[in-house]
A = this chain, B = another copy of it.
Amino acid sequence: MTDPVRSAAPGDTRRPVVGVVGGGQLARMMQQAAIGLDLELRLLAASGGDSAARVIPGTTVGDERGRDDLLAFAADVDVLTFDHEHVPQPHLQALEQAGAVLRPGPRALRHAQDKAVMREDLAAAGLPVPRFVVVTDVADLDRAAEHVGGWPVVLKTARGGYDGKGVWLVEGPAADHDAFRAGVPVVVEERVAFSRELAAVVARSPSGQAVAYPVVESVQRDGICVEVRAPAPGLHPDTAVAAQRLALQVAEALGVVGILAVELFELPDGRLDVNELAMRPHNTGHWTIDGAVTSQFENHLRAVLDLPLGSPIARAPACVMVNVLGGEDPGVHGALSHVLAHDPAVRVHLYGKQVRPGRKIGHVTIVGADMDDCVRRAWHAADALTRGRRG
């Protein structure tokens, strides 16, 4: 394949066109980066009111998981990339067969779509994962638990889970379990006694160039990432390097193009286990918009177009991102005045989504010199936006 961008001839005035499947906040934040480099984003979204559709001209409203809509959309773009990992494999393959350039490609994406395949392939590549067994029948649960070191175990449906959904902690033998209802394989894993969760975000281009962002600590609540500290406080330099190296190895082993986020368990002895993978800009990388020289969104676009990658280094000693979850007030703008007045340095990112209690509707970032100060200020802003005018 001739690369659509690098092959630009002298005098060629065409701007590169990136098609994004899915109209969520990730596509929305890609648009801020695309404007700077004059890359044209086109969007396939379920609705013209979707987060990204509000800020990208000429959105195609269609079925993001529908074969025909995807093929028609792909015909007009140089490169296809994704706001989410929900496009079925057969459609991804049909797109490639039709000549579309998918970045990341189907083979890589499969590892973000199917936890059983991800665990198996990472283990086969010698990369550290929790002990696991893949089963399809609840009757095999006992033997699986024994195999991974005994009860309790964690069950994960191989496909369809996100943000804590599709994950269960099981304390002992069960004759029946919800995990098996969907009829997809279930990954039975040891419950890892981790000290904390880390994330290593890397960008990788088709030509193999890669950059690694500083390793962050991800604070979870009910299975949802609520806060990210960059860099991970007190992380041993050897562990930081190991985490970055691990993420780069995963990216190369799976042939990822674009951003790869590797969510990690840090174990008490400093070892790391891979928890989850995401092959797109990721919540644990949102801090990079304000806190790094090049944001993960810009580096995702640069990677999928095989443009040289930007510096991932941090702009300051500390950066904290806190997600803004929807509260009881359906309007989020009412609280903006308070939040902006209270802290003139707060960076607010709202996603233009309808507010529902508990839904991620934005994030705030504080960049500074002292991590504890950043944490306190970021939570103040996020909590105020959640409470809205009813706080």
Q: Which residue of B lies closest to A10 (CB)?
A: B389
A 304-328 to B, binary, CB cutoff 8 A, 1 in contact else 0: 0001111101011000000000000
Q: Which residues of B contact A367 (CB under 8 A)?
A: 293, 315
Do A389 and B330 contact each other (CB < 8 Å), given the known contacts A315-B315, A348-B36, A355-B13? no
Q: Which residues of chain B come closer than 8 Å to A354, judged between CB atoms?
A: 13
CB distance from A266 to the nearest CB of B (A): 28
* Chain B residues whose CB sits within 8 angstroms of the CB of A126 once the complex forms: none
**Is A166 an interface residue, CB under 8 A from the partner?**
no
Query: Which residues from B are CB-within-8-Å of A336?
Result: 5, 37, 307
Residue A255 at the chain B interface, CB threshold 8 Å: no
Distance (Å) between the CB of A330 and the closest chain B CB? 5
**A333, B16: Cβ atoms closer than 8 Å:** yes
A348 contacts B37, CB within 8 Å? yes
B56 touches A307 (CB 8 A): no
Q: Oligomeric state, in number of copies? A: 2
Using known A-B contacts A8-B334, A293-B345, A333-B15, determine if residue A38 contacts B340 with beta carbons closer than 8 Å.
Answer: no
Determine whether the beta carbon of A55 is less than 8 Å from that of B37. Answer: no
Whether A40 is near chain B, meaning CB under 8 Å from some CB there, is yes
Known: A8-B333, A302-B340, A344-B311. A15 touches B388 (CB 8 A): no
Closest to A332 in B: B38
List A1-60 residues whose CB lies under 8 Å from chain B: 5-6, 8-16, 28-29, 31-32, 34-38, 40, 53-59
Residues on the B chain within 8 Å of A333, using CB: 5, 8, 12, 14-16, 38
User: What's the Cα separation between A311 and B366 when bound, in Å?
Assistant: 12
**A329 within 8 A of partner (CB):** yes
Asked if residues A294 and B331 are in contact (CB atoms below 8 Å), the reply is no
At the interface, yes or no: A349 with Cβ under 8 Å from chain B?
A: yes
Give the contacting residue for A294; candidates B54, B344, B355; CB below 8 A. B344
Q: Does A115 contact B (CB under 8 A)?
A: no
**In whole angstroms, how far apart are the Cα atoms of A362 and B35 in the complex?**
11
Cβ of A21 to closest chain B Cβ, rounded Å? 18
A13 CA / B389 CA spacing, docked (Å) = 11
Chain B: minimal CB distance from A270 (Å): 30
If A15-B333, A15-B352 touch, whether A35 touches B55 (CB-CB below 8 Å) is: yes
- Indicate the size class of the contact surface on chain A: 35 or more
A14 contacts which chain B residues (CB < 8 A)?
A: 331, 333
Contact A310 B340 (CB under 8 A): yes
Docked CA distance A351–B35 (Å): 8
CA A35 to CA B316, docked complex, whole Å: 24
A-side residues, CB < 8 A to B, are: 5-6, 8-16, 28-29, 31-32, 34-38, 40, 53-59, 211, 293-294, 302, 307-311, 313, 315-316, 329-334, 336-337, 340-341, 344-345, 347-352, 354-355, 362, 367, 388-390
Closest CB pairs A-B (n = 10): A10-B389, A38-B350, A308-B341, A311-B344, A308-B340, A311-B345, A8-B334, A12-B331, A13-B331, A57-B57
- 15 A-B Cβ contacts within 8 A? A5-B333, A5-B336, A9-B334, A11-B389, A12-B331, A12-B334, A14-B331, A36-B349, A36-B350, A38-B333, A53-B57, A293-B344, A293-B347, A308-B341, A309-B344
With contacts A8-B333, A11-B329, A57-B59 known, what are 6 further pairs, Cβ within 8 A? A6-B337, A36-B347, A38-B333, A38-B352, A38-B362, A56-B57
